[in-house]
Structure 1
Amino acid sequence: MAPRKIIIDTDPGVDDMLAMLLACSCLPEELEVVLLSITYGNIDVQNCIRNAISLFYHIEKEIAWRKSQGKPIGFDTIRKTKPIVAVGPEHPLTDDMLMADYFHGRDGLGGIHESHPHLSPDDTWKSVLSAAKNSDDPAMSEIADELAKKDALFTPSHKPAHQEILRLLRENEPDTITIVAIGPLTNLALAASEDPEAFLRVKEVVVMGGTINEPGNV
Structure 2
Amino acid sequence: MTGNDLVLRFRYPDESQSQHANDMRTVNIKQVAVSDEQETEADLYKFYHPVIQGLRTGVTTYHRMNTSTGTWMMAGSIDWQTDSTCNVFFGGTEKVPPLSNYYVRQRTKNVQVHIRELRKSKKATSKSRRFKAGGSEYKWKLAENGRDLTCLSQQLTSYGKTVAEWSQETLTLRVAERVEPILDRVVVTLFLNLWMRSMDDW
Normalising by the residue count of structure 2, what TM-score does the alignment of the two structures yield? Answer: 0.29
Normalising by the residue count of structure 1, what TM-score does the alignment of the two structures yield? Answer: 0.27
Instruction: Determine which structure has greater relative contact order: mean sequence separation of CA pairs < 8 Å that are 6+ residues apart, divided by chain length.
Output: 1
Which structure has the highest helix share of the two?
A: 1
